[in-house]
Amino acid sequence: MSSMSNVAGLSKWIRTLPNAKSSVLMIIILSFIIGVLLFLLQPVSVGNGLEDFFYGGAFGFVVFGLPAIIVGSTDQLWVESLNGINLKAKHSMFLALVSMSLAGIVGIIGTAVGLIFKMNLFFNSILFGCVIAFGFNILVILATTRIKLFNSFVIAIIQPLLMIGMLIITSFLNNIDYIFSLGYITTIFKVIIASVIFLIAIYAFISVVESPMKKNLGFGAMEILSYFILHMNEGTNTIEQLFDNAGEAIDTLVGVASFRRLDGSIKALFLSPCVHPGPLGDIGGSNMPTILANSFDAFTMVAHGPSTHDFNPVSSDEIVKIEDSVRKALDTMEYSPKASEFIRYSHEKANVGIQFFKNGTIMLSTFAPSGSDDIEYAVGLAAMIESQKHLGTQNNILVDCHNSFNEEKGGVLPGNPELFQLIDTIKLIEPLDLEHDIKVGCYYTDLGGFDKHQGIGESGLKTMVVEVNGQRTAYVLFDSNNMELGYRETIFNAVKDLDIDEIEVMTTDTHTVNTLSAGYNPVGTVEKEKIIEFVKISIKEAIKDLEPVEAGTNTERILNLKTFGPNNSTELISTISSIVAVSKIIAPLTFIVAIIFVIIWIFVL
């Protein structure tokens, strides 16, 4: 999860880059300031102080700003002509802005150092800054555009060469012979050789960090990064092709509870697929709760079944297989107009709320108020098998309520104490007879247009009130990725005065909300009171919608679902961890050595 969160954090910068016009304005202003500062450190007097100020600013714009604007306007065209991706107008201009700023900052620092040691490093410092700008350019282009090495080199070196050309022309304008002498050629040669040194260092570093992932999974880290950026920029799901090639087919389960009106039409569906709605954005199964719910005409709640990132579908197309299994479960569904009341059991940290219907139960599992994340599939399967044996019911739908987020607390895995606490809680459950008629009422709200900034996905808030023998139980489901620790209890306290006897709040674990800077984005971190007001409204409206129904439960296998798979998920996480560990050593060493060689080449030789 943390790896996904770190990747998701990139979206903050991708989505909030300034537009091209704003970047151009910043280029003009910053280049002017860079020129003024350089002239303050390396004065070239053309008159009084005011004239020096404007001359320096003009120098900065011509040497730094004008090449940046030219390259920012053309790089996008070069990349598109080479069938590259991601570098749109605003990205191209912003890249030129950053590269220009790097060159200017290095030039200013170098000139200042020269001033301290009474050396004239003005010209060579700017050359060195241009080489640093090239290194940044080619690293970004190689990592994000999917363009080959030589083509990336050509595109990346244009801006430094333009800056050097402008520098030579402006610096030696009074010495025309120099421009046509070997001095000009030597300067260009210096920059190209220094850039090649950086190119070799960058290529070596990328080769080292790419090879483990390519060997183990068939694709590299740069591919994931470039296709993720493409997804954030354009909403395309090309990255799913990588996951599909490396994916594994699995069999899993979906639990289905159906509530049918007395005229035979389905009023509501309550689904708990053991499929994880990830990894993030709209990639893979991230929006599964909404896509699956929209596949049915009836009011449909898609809760979070026991599953982790191992069970992320490789593409949204795989969700059709879940839908097919639900429809198969409905075809063999047996209904009854009778049900039991809702009752809670707990043991240590584990809490289970259960209600009996025809042929099975809905079991709502949570470790709140203690923090927890995903219940792993094997843990959930063990709990369901134990419930079948202990309760004598076949179709026990286990829901991971996913409603008590703690970043420091991982998922519930085999061997964790929580597994045995959950099973021991199930052993406490006493089977109940189906003695009472059922009424169900439903309500959906988008919470006034709340979105991922409030931790809310496309399906908003769905509430189903089940009335049995006068007892009203509210099943409240947020389309969110977990819930702030303690917010569940806050909601419970806030609805005490409503005409209900029991309530449980759940989240779908949708990862469409995980495209913000923090990665984690549980509901309840913002707009707490407003969200609670919508919960109250939804319960009241669902009560108004109560009507007699028949209910049935069923579980069905989902066959051949293509997921990233437990082996590949573990492989990906371990490979990324090893890449990060190696990079902490290789990256500084590689670039320090390259910088030393470049400094010697530019300042000494």
Instruction: Give the pLDDT confidence of 370-392 residue by residue, as tens digits.
Output: 988 899 999 999 999 999 999 99
The list of the chain residues with pLDDT below 70 reads: 1-16, 42-49, 171-185, 232-235, 515-519, 567-574, 576-577, 605
Give the three-state DSSP class for 566: helix
Reported residue count of the chain is 605
| Two structure tokens written together for 197 | 């040194």
Residue corresponding to tokens 């990233």: 564
Tokens of 102: 């790097």
Residue 391: partners with Cβ closer than 8 Å, 6 or more residues away: 361, 429, 431
Cis ω before 369 (30° cut-off from 0): yes
Range list of H helices, 285-438: 288-293, 319-331, 377-391, 417-428
The residue assigned the tokens 């409206």 is 541
CB distance 275 to 558 below 8 Å: yes
pLDDT at 210 (0 to 100): 77
- For residue 345, which phi and psi values (nearest 5 degrees)? -135, 150
The helix (H) or strand (E) run that includes residue 558 is: strand 547-563
Residues 6+ away with beta carbon under 8 Å from 570: 310
Give pLDDT, residue 224: 74
Instruction: Give dist(CA 475, CA 466) in Å, integer.
Output: 8
Count of H-run helices and E-run strands, the chain: 18, 13
The beta-strand segments (E) located in 125-277 are 248-261, 266-273
Please tell me the predicted confidence (pLDDT) of residue 452. 87
Q: What are phi and psi of 502, to 5 degrees?
A: -140, 155
User: Hey, what are 262's tokens?
Assistant: 């007395």
DSSP 362: E
- Specify the residue for token string 């003005």: 122
- Closest residue by Cα to residue 149 from 203, 94, 75: 203
Beta bridge partners of 299: 268
Q: Which of 417, 421, 418, 426 is closest to 352 using CA atoms? A: 426
3-class SS at 339? strand
| Segment holding 498, helix H or strand E | none
Helix (H, G, I), strand (E, B) or coil at 314: coil
**Contact yes or no for 458/290 (Cβ under 8 A):** yes
Q: Report pTM.
A: 0.81
Q: Which pLDDT does position 179 carry in this prediction? A: 43
